[in-house]
Amino acid sequence: MDWKEGIIKDVVIRSAKQYADKRGWLAEIFRSDEIAQDDMPVMGYVSATKPGVARGPHEHREQTDIFGFVGPGNLRIRLWDNRKDSSSYGVMQIVDAGEKNPVVVVVPPGVVHGYRNISSVDAIVLNFPNRLYAGKGKKQAVDEIRYEEEKNTSFIMDN
């Protein structure tokens, strides 16, 4: 598929405004009064990605991801609308985020996503998905369609 660059319907990107004082800073990632009930997080995790390394691309059938890209480090996020019934089907969106541009990105099911660390330090990512990884007790299939190893994929993570 030839992806056209643009804005993807239902993907939310908002500033993670930092409130700073002499001790450091704080940024809100999610609030129950700003998230649809179906998207309310049920778990959270933090990951570190080495410089130059990519994670993804992959998509979820049912899961919504709520990412916090606030630093340290900076990442180039790529999103592809793979939902055939979406008005933005076939659109790819790129966002640079992290320490230089702290944002929250809400990724709905069916939107393929991945990111690459574009900084010289480990980049920290927070995620608060609305589904448990591998279900309750980690006894279910993981809700992921992975594209990293596909040779002819149109989901390319180039810088």
Distance linking the first and last C-alpha atoms of the chain:
19
What is the residue extent of each domain of the chain?
Answer: 4-132+140-146
Query: How does pLDDT run across 37-76, given as a tens digit for each residue?
Result: 999 999 999 999 999 999 999 999 999 999 999 999 999 9
Q: Report which of 38, 32, 31, 46 is spatially closest to residue 108, judged by C-alpha positions.
A: 38
Q: How far apart are CA 86 and CA 11, in angstroms?
A: 12
Q: Residue 159 has what pLDDT?
A: 67
Q: How far apart are CA 154 and CA 120, in angstroms?
A: 27
CA distance to 16, 54, 101, per residue, from 13 (Å): 9, 20, 11
- Provide long-range contacts, Cβ within 8 A and 24+ apart, for 32-36: 35/66, 35/106
The pTM assigned to this predicted structure is 0.94
Q: Report which of 57, 82, 79 is spatially closest to residue 1, judged by C-alpha positions.
A: 82
Specify the amino acid at residue 135: G
Q: What homologous superfamily does CATH list for 4-132+140-146?
A: Jelly Rolls (2.60.120.10)
Q: Which regions of the chain are under pLDDT 70?
A: 159
